[in-house]
Amino acid sequence: MWTSKTITFILFTVTTLLASSNAAENATTQPLFPAILIFGDSTVDTGNNNYPVNTFFRATHLPYGIDLPNHAGNGRFSNGKLIPDILAAKYNIKQLVPPFLQPSLSDQDIVTGVCFASAGAGYDDLTSLSTQAIPVSEQPKMFKSYIARLKSIVGDKKAMEIINNALVVVSAGTNDFILNYYTIPTRRLQYHHVSSYQDFILKRLDNLIGELYSLGCRNFVIGGLPPIGCLPIQMTAKFRNIFRFCLEKENKDSVVYNQKLQNQIPQMQASLTGSKILYSDIYNPIHDMMQNPSKYGFKETKRGCCGTGFLETSFMCNVLSPTCENHSEFLFFDSIHPSEATYNYIGDLLDAKIREWIAA
């Protein structure tokens, strides 16, 4: 027969174990950041280009989004999730990051963060002019509108606390080279050497980070350039490149730009008190995937999954385009943008870096 003391002890032990279990569960499900905020181009645009009337680049149609839960194009330039979605899910913030211009945003969508990026955008306003994208320099205007709505939901103090602690992802720059400097003569006449144009772009980036900092952002992850010369569309642009070699000159430009960006980050951080800025390496992971495809389960790295894979992107990659049978075997989904499989590999690497960075 159990005594009242025994029963009390058992109840105390069970209660303690349940409390410990709940605490452990809360620790694993608690978001690492209260919100995620995204600025940049098509590598991180989760659908803002669905809404401006004259935007040239859209991904509202299949086969874009075919591997998303609803199997429908919703503005993401890939077959599935992008880096913002992958990170948001890893940090228990949300499964998909909505675009700010989406009319049906809920209060919870706002509180946990949104995307301000626009496909075709660049740090250089001239880049966005040619694509009718929302320039990166204009994206903070949307952010200001976002802040006003956030304050109306949670109050001024809580809103600034969310923004101060949010993860801010900035990814752009590729379009400034492939859609502007390498293609349109205007900037080449102004900047005779690519090095001086890189400096111009990095100054524009510096201005962006400074503006976002003034609005309350503190935790920044800034993406570098990919190996631009290995993008399928760039290999296609060289008509005599029948063996589809990466364009080493353009890759070298990417390497130099990325090194300059890495050198600039400590100076940016020092000038913005309380900021934390992390460089996100895109170049080396993608370059390694090109060099060692089997390591990642890829069978094709020199063309996209959509259509011929040599030129198709945006409206050229559409419901009439044949697609590869296994999307995860292709490094690129269209002639510019990586597949979800590629983004997952990069997301895993970036996640490890961010957790290390936050813990430091």
334 is catalytic: yes
Q: What is the pLDDT of residue 4?
A: 52
Mean pLDDT, rounded, of the chain: 92
Cβ neighbours, 10 Å, residue 322: 10
Confidence (pLDDT) at 11: 43
Specify whether the backbone of 31 is left (phi greater than 0), alpha (psi in -120 to 50) or beta.
beta
Buried/exposed 269-289: b ≥16 CB within 10 Å, e otherwise: beebeebebbbbbbbebbbeb
Summarize pLDDT for 16-44 with one digit per residue, the tens.
444 444 444 444 589 999 999 999 999 99
d(CA 41, CA 83): 12
Task: Indicate whether 5 pLDDT > 70.
Answer: no
Could you say which of 41, 42, 124, 254 is catalytic?
Answer: 42
Which residues, including other chains, have CB under 8 Å from residue 81's CB and lie 6 or more apart?
A: 68, 89, 96, 340, 343, 344
Which residue out of 128, 334, 335, 339 is catalytically annotated?
A: 334
pLDDT for the residue numbered 53:
66
Given the residues 85, 287, 337, 339, the one annotated as active site? 337
Q: What is the per-residue DSSP string for 330-354? A: EEESSSSSBPHHHHHHHHHHHHHHH
Q: What is the 3-state secondary structure (H, E, C) of 284-336?
A: HHHHHHHHCHHHHCCCEEEEECECCCCCCCHHHCCCCCCECCCHHHEEECCCC
How far is the CA of 233 from the CAs of 124, 236, 241, in angstroms? 21, 5, 12
Whole-angstrom CA distances from 331 to 196, 319, 356 are 31, 20, 27
**Domains (range + CATH), the chain:** 36-288+343-359 (3.40.50)
The string of pLDDT tens digits covering residues 156-207 is: 999 999 999 999 999 999 999 999 999 999 999 999 999 999 999 999 999 9
Residue 288 annotated as catalytic: no
Q: What is the reported pTM?
A: 0.91
Q: How many CB atoms lie within 10 A of CB 194?
A: 19
- Asked whether the predicted pLDDT for residue 244 surpasses 90, the reply is no
Mean pLDDT of 100-107: 97
What is the pLDDT confidence band of residue 3, given thresholds at 50, 70 and 90? low
For the question of residue 41 being annotated catalytic, the response is no
Closest CA to 219 of 348, 113, 137: 113
Which percentage of the chain shows pLDDT scores above 90? 86
3-state class of 136 per DSSP? helix
Whether residue 152 is predicted with pLDDT greater than 70 in this model: the reply is yes
- pLDDT tens for residues 64-95? 999 999 999 999 999 999 999 999 999 999 99
